[in-house]
Amino acid sequence: MSFTRRTFGKVALAAAAAPAIVQTPALAGPAAKAGQPIDPMTLLDPELRDGAKVILSRPLPEPLNHAAILGMRKSAPPPPPVLPSPAPAVELRTVAGASGQPPVGIAVIGAGRKATLRPAVLHIHGGGFIVGRMDDTIPASQRLSEEMDCVVVEVDYRLSPETRFPGPLEDCHAALVWLHANADALGVDRSRIAIMGESAGGGLAAMLAIAARDRRSVPLCCQILIYPMLDDRTGSTRRVPSFIGTIGWNEAGNVVGWSSLLGQPAGRRTVPAGAVPARVADLAGLPPTFIGVGSIDLFVEENIAYAQRLIQAGVSTELLVTPGAFHGFDFVVPEATVSQAFVAAWKRRLRAAFSKTAA
C-alpha cells in the first residue's frame, strides 16, 4: 500500500497524540500459541499493516510532560487547506462562552437557508485532550456537509492541561447552544442536530450529550462516537491485554490525557461530576448512539462496556467493532476496505437519524 505525503502527515499527527508508543517487531506466521505473548502486528487487517508500521516508526519523547506536549503542538504539520468552491463555504466565528468562560472559536460550514431546513452536526476534534486543532478536520467536515446536505459546526475548544474540566466541555456546550439558538439564520432544523467526535472528541461528545440532557439545553437527534475516550481508569487502575492499545494510542498516553483534563491523577476513586462518561451512573434519556472502534484499539473494552450500559438504559445503540483495526485506522489508511466500511456504517446511522426526525 502506498503512502502519499498528505497521508504521512495524517499519520504523523495521529502519532503525535500517542506518547511512548510501544514498538513491537512483526512476527511471521499465525498468532502466538496459548500461553505465549500475542504480537499485535499478527492481528492487524492486512491493509492496515503499512499504516501501523509508519506510526510505530515515530516514537515520541519521554516523559510526556508539559514541555513535551507543547513541543508536539508546535511540531504538528500544517493543517490541510480549506476546500475551494464549489465545496461548502467555511466561516470562522467567535461565539459567547459559558458564564465566566472566554469566547469560543468555531467554524461554520455550509450554512445558509435553502428551500427546506437542513440537519446539522456539531463536530469535536480529537487529540487526547492535549493536542489537536479544529483546522485539521475542516476539509473533512466540508465533505460531510456536502454529502449529507447539512450544516457542520467545528469547535475550537481549549486544550488541557492549561484548561481543565469543565473548560473544554463548556466550550463545546456553548457552541452547541449557539447552533441551536441561531438555527433559523443558519437554515437548520432544530429537531435534527447531532453531535460527533473522534477519540477525545468522542469523549467530549459523550460528555456533551450528558450535559445537554441534564441541563435540558439542546435536544439531540443522535451522537456519533468514533473510538471515544470514555474512561480515565483505562491504563491507570484498569490494565488492558498487552496486545491492545500499542498502535496509535496507549495506556501511558491515556493516563496523561485524562490527568491533564481532570487536574488530578487518572483513576482516582472520585472524579468531577460529568467529567468521565463511563462513570456517569444514569445513561437513560441520551440520544440514539453509534459507537465504532477497532478490535485492538486501547478503547475497545470501555467502548463495548459503554454501549452495553446504553442498551440497558433503553438507549437505541449501534456498536461496531472492526477486526484488526487500531486507533485512528480510518484516518491513517482511509482507502482500506475496513476503513471504508467503518465510515459507511456511521454515515448510514447519521443519515438514518436525519431522515427519521425529518419524517
Three-state DSSP at 118 gives strand
Cβ atoms 106, 93 nearer than 8 A = yes
Cα(66)–Cα(74) distance, integer angstroms: 12
Q: Which of 135, 189, 297, 330 is catalytic?
A: 297
DSSP bridge pairs for 155: 106
Q: Which of 141, 199, 259, 339 is catalytic?
A: 199
Task: Name residue, grid cell 437527534.
Answer: 221
330 labelled catalytic: no
SS (H, E, C) 7-55: HHHHHHHHHHCCCCCCCCCCCCCCCCCCCCCCCHHHCCCHHHHHHHHHH
Cβ burial, residue 268 (10 Å; 0-12/13-18/19+)? middle
8-state DSSP, 247: S
173 labelled catalytic: no
Q: Going by C-beta distance under 8 Å and a sequence separation of 6 or more, which residues neighbour residue 42? A: 26, 27, 29, 30, 31, 32
Cβ atoms 354, 192 nearer than 8 A = yes
Q: Which of 153, 197, 124 is nearest to 346 (CA)?
A: 197
DSSP bridge pairs for 294: 322
Cβ burial, residue 30 (10 Å; 0-12/13-18/19+)? exposed
297 labelled catalytic: yes
Q: Which of 125, 145, 327, 330 is catalytic?
A: 327
Query: What positions carry a catalytic annotation?
Result: 199, 297, 327
